Amino acid sequence: MSEAIQVVGLYVRDQDEAHEFYVGKLDFRVHTDQRNGDYRWLTVQHPKQPSFQLGLFRPQAPMHDAVTVQALNELVAKGAMPPLVMAVDDCFATYARLRERGVEFTQEPIARYGNVDANFRDPSGNGWKIIEKGA
Amino acid sequence: MPRPVQARGRQGLAKSAVRDILLSLGWQHSAIRARNKQIVTDDLVLLFHGETQTANGQCPLLVRRLLRAKDRMDASSHEAWPVERLAKVSGVSEAHFARAFRKAFGIPPHRYLLTRRIERAKALLRDTELAITDIAFESGWNSLGTFGRTFHDVTGESPGMFRTRERRVAQEMGQVPPCYLSAAHRPDLTIAVSEKRRRNRCYK
């Protein structure tokens, strides 16, 4: 497959913290972690999805001015960024495992419409939904 | 926004001194007790932010705390959420909470809660066979009368009318996750319900 979505980025408030969360708690793997001065290009991958990278980026100079950085950091903290959805095989099991690791769940697993879904947030405020289809 | 690095150097402050400063900034005793063992970097950053407000907005770390209160209302909108309970979730003082919440989310906390209750009531009316009285209690109202009146004030139709009309519409939205579908039915309450009621009366 040569044509596909390769990277989609999230804004995070702190890349060390995001690394610790996505790799340490969600079991993602680091794809690229390149620094250039204050700038850091950090992407991670779902262990079962090697063709896709999730970028963990910090709103920062020189791409953004200080006011924009502040605005973006606030928006992320408000949970105003778009929904993120992840498919899981067993929503209850994933919920139990992640909760044990201190992931902040905002909705416990609910069975509805033939699926089971639960919500959590990353430390920055990005909201994830995990869905088990056809449960 | 000050970097956490700057705050880390200050962690040697005596616990009692930190507590006094937090109290003077409007923190609650209980919130401080809960964190007493480890005054985390977040708290120190907030602390050295003074009013937790930057020149052009709110401190993102404070906003993240306020989001926690919003998330809790989302998860349990049928429960009672007095300001003291919400303030505790966010770890800020009651006096500070409502104003900070409104600044962050553009709506006072009690009115936000109302939008979530109406949204839930709408979902129950549409998707279940529950009696309207049961739906009133399930979505957080103490009486059927208050529920019916508020629902009408907000949506412009009674719960029964809404149910009948919705059921006539075929639901062809299976590909969209249900919570986002449901969110589309959340009322956009830019004015107080009492004001909305007053205006509706004027037009009648």
Task: Write out pLDDT tens, residues B145-168.
Answer: 999 999 999 999 999 999 999 887
Instruction: Give me the percent of chain B exceeding a pLDDT of 90.
Output: 51
How remote is the C-alpha of B11 from its chain's centroid? 32
How much is the pLDDT for B19?
Answer: 63
pLDDT level of residue B44 (50, 70, 90 thresholds): low
Q: How far is B96 from B27, CA to CA, in rounded Å?
A: 9
Q: Where are the domains of chain A?
A: 7-132
What does each C-alpha distance from B104 to A74, A75, B62, B109 come to in angstroms?
Answer: 8, 9, 9, 10
Class in CATH terms, A7-132: alpha beta
Q: Which residues of chain A have pLDDT under 70?
A: 1, 135
Residues of chain A with C-beta less than 8 angstroms from the C-beta of B179: 117, 119, 129
Asked if A74 and B61 come within 8 Å (Cβ–Cβ), the reply is: no
CA of B87, closest CA in chain A: separation in Å? 16
Asked if A106 and B75 come within 8 Å (Cβ–Cβ), the reply is: yes
Which phi and psi (to 5°) does residue A105 adopt? Answer: -80, 140
How much is the pLDDT for B197?
Answer: 81
pLDDT level of residue B78 (50, 70, 90 thresholds): very high
- pLDDT of B126 above 60: yes
Asked if A79 and B179 come within 8 Å (Cβ–Cβ), the reply is: no
How much is the pLDDT for A135?
Answer: 66
Q: What mean pLDDT comes out for the span B90-94?
A: 94
Q: How far is A45 from A26, CA to CA, in rounded Å?
A: 10
Q: What mean pLDDT comes out for the span B78-98?
A: 96
Q: How far is B153 from B194, CA to CA, in rounded Å?
A: 8
How much is the pLDDT for B25?
Answer: 62
pLDDT level of residue B23 (50, 70, 90 thresholds): low
The tokens for A34 are 């390149």
pLDDT level of residue B9 (50, 70, 90 thresholds): very low
Residues of chain A with C-beta less than 8 angstroms from the C-beta of B58: 74
How much is the pLDDT for B22?
Answer: 62
pLDDT level of residue B190 (50, 70, 90 thresholds): confident
pLDDT level of residue B12 (50, 70, 90 thresholds): very low
Neighbours of A9 (CB within 10 A): 13
ipTM confidence score: 0.91
How much is the pLDDT for A60?
Answer: 94
Domains and CATH numbers, chain B: 4-106 (no CATH), 111-203 (1.10.10.60)
